[in-house]
Amino acid sequence: MASPARIELDKLSVEQLKGLKEQTDLEVNLLQDSLTKIRTAATRLENASAALQDLSLRPQGKKMLVPLTASLYVPGSLDDAEKVLVDVGTGYFIEKTMAQGKEYCERKINLLKSNFDELVEITHCM
């Protein structure tokens, strides 16, 4: 990554300094929002991975509550813990085996952590 051009602050006018501050504040807020979104997505995937682990340990026919939304659960029973539906984004789901579902979550968690580390590195260079 190329290093940003140096700006001699003592040669800038007050208006230019205000503009530079506003631009810097905007960039910092954008980076903070990105970091928060990455952390939130990683947490959701870690929760999904833990749920898959818990689901794999339950016996077939086990009664449970199935979440339809964050606050709506319906009664159900476990038919086949070896097949899971994985949300791949924008309303699309793919049927995978339990092992493939766990691997998908781990791959996405690692990608998000890598992106998080890159953003943190960028913020330290600023």
Kindly report the average pLDDT of the chain as a whole number: 87
As assigned by CATH, the class of the 14-125 domain is mainly alpha
For residue 56, what is the enclosing H or E element? helix 14-57
In the chain, what are the domain boundaries? 14-125
* Segment 66-90, tens digit of pLDDT: 888 889 999 999 888 889 999 888 9
The whole-angstrom separation of Cα 26 and Cα 33 is 11
Residue bearing the bigger pLDDT, 9 or 15: 15
Q: What pLDDT was estimated at residue 1?
A: 47
Residue the block writes with tokens 């994985």? 86
pTM value surpassing 0.75: no
Strands of 1-126 (E only): list them.
63-67, 73-77, 83-89, 92-97
Average pLDDT over residues 115-123: 85
Average pLDDT score over residue span 24-38: 91
What is the rounded CA–CA span in Å between residue 95 and residue 85?
Answer: 4
